[in-house]
Amino acid sequence: MSVMNTGGNPQLNRHGELNHLLTIEGLPRDVLTRILDTAAPFTEVAEREVKKLPLLRGKSVFNLFFENSTRTRTTFEIAAKRLSADVINLNISTSSANKGETLLDTVDNLAAMQADMFVVRHASSGAPYLIAQHLAATDRDHIHVVNAGDGRHAHPTQGLLDMYTIRHYKKDFTQLTVAIIGDVLHSRVARSQIHALNILGVPEIRVIAPKTLLPTGVERLGVRVFNDMREGLRGVDVVMMLRLQNERMQGALLPSTQEFFKSWGLTPEKLALAKPDAIVMHPGPMNRGVEIDSAVADGKQAVILPQVTFGIAVRMAVMAMLGGN
């Protein structure tokens, strides 16, 4: 008889330590800070001739990608390999027409291959919880789960690398005004950023979007809502752009990419309303001319490529903390 998912939070073990990384929500500030601190020395590893540390030697990391992603999967793969882990990539397409094996059957099979860590990307919000709860219920808690993006819910390592980037350029979170701009409704990145910024004590977090791209009750997550981008950008220290997925541009959410760009695309002219030393971030991949103008994306204030570099260090830190020797 299988054990049912009872909906508990399996992220922390009974000593309150991080056993899986499923979401940033509810993480104690010191745990979050420790991840960022751990990541710092890892940025230097990439500059060495031998870019490897033995922290995950002999460990098997399974990249379980139920949703296509080249970029995130690659950065996780690089991070795991730099920690000397054996990395196995699985791209499991799940069309509703072709269900086949259930999610938990897949997990059980891979667990039987002595996996030490699952890095999970899934189109359904909460899928990594189901896996972690299942592992806990079947006494296989020693296998760690890292959420690499689940539906609209969370993308915690992205949120963490964004915090690393902000800290790198701005040092003190408690004096900042941060704006998150674009499709918040469908964005797991935005949710993780909002939680992280709140935990780190950012006094003003703004979201800027048309009403069709904001979740109901978003202000309850601890943000100030702006529909007008010019108003929302005034005096901002950090500008975090979100990706607008192609499929959102059809249908009833937005009339056209042109109109979206006109109102919510980041141009040099709009960016000039933010503080002169404001940094511009984007989780990638960018839609130039949709949410961001090339002049901004390639401009001096953009820190989009450093985000990618820091992303590897942050993912190394998370994996080392969860499963390190």
Partner 1 sequence: MKIHIKNGRLIDPATQTDKPLDLFIGAGRIVGIGCAPAGFEVNSVLDASGCVVCPGLVDLSARLREPGFEYRATLESEMAAAAAGGVTRLACPPDTDPVLDEPGLVEMLTHRARLPEFAHVHPVGALTTQLEGKALTEMAELAEAGCVAFGQANRAVVDTQVLLRAMMYAATFDFPVWLQAQDPFLARKGVAHDGEVAARLGLVGIPVAAETIALATILQLARETGARVHVTRISSAAGVEMIAAARAAGIGVTCDVAIHHLHLCENDVGFFNAHARLDPPLRSTGDRDALRRALVSGAINALCSDHTPVDDDGKQTPFDEAEVGATGLELLLPLTLKWAQEMKLPLVTALARVTSDPARILGVEAGCLKVGAPADICVFDPAADYLVSREALKSQGKNTPFLGYAFPGRVRYTLIDGHLAFDGTLS
Instruction: Identify which range of 146-154, 202-210, 283-291, 303-311 contacts partner 1 by CB under 8 A.
Output: 146-154
Reduced to 3 states (helix: H, G, I; strand: E, B; else coil), residue 119 is strand
Q: Which of residues 58-77 bind partner 1 (CB under 8 A)?
A: none
218 forms part of the interface with partner 1 (CB under 8 A): yes
> Is 16 near partner 1 (CB under 8 A)?
no
Is there binding between residue 154 and partner 1 (CB under 8 A)? yes
Does residue 112 sit in helix, strand or coil? coil
Taking residues 223 to 252 in sequence order and writing x for each that binds partner 1 by CB under 8 A, - otherwise, the string is ------------------------------
Nearer to partner 1, 144 or 270 (CB): 144
Classified as helix, coil or strand, 92 is coil
Q: Say how far apart CA 35 and CA 231 lie, in whole Å.
A: 34
**Which are the contacts of 316, defined by CB distance < 8 A and separation ≥ 6?**
39, 42, 45, 53, 79, 82, 83
Of the candidates 118, 129, 173, 264, which one interacts with partner 1 according to CB under 8 A?
129
Q: How far is the CB of 69 from partner 1 (least distance, A)?
A: 17
Regarding 121 and contact with partner 1 (CB under 8 A), the answer is: no
Q: Report the C-alpha gap between 159 and 312 in whole angstroms.
A: 13
Name the residue with tokens 């003003």.
204
CB of residue 125 vs partner 1: minimum separation in angstroms?
4
Does 92 bind partner 1 (CB under 8 A)? Our answer is no
**Sole binder of partner 1 in the list 167, 188, 243, 248 (CB under 8 A):** 188
Cα–Cα distance list, 298 to 37, 65, 317 (Å): 29, 30, 28
Q: What is the DSSP string of 166-201?
A: HHHHH--GGG-EEEEES--TT-HHHHHHHHHHHHTT
Binding stretches for partner 1 (CB under 8 A): 1-2, 4-10, 25, 102-104, 122, 124-127, 129-130, 133-134, 150-154, 188, 191, 215-218, 220-221
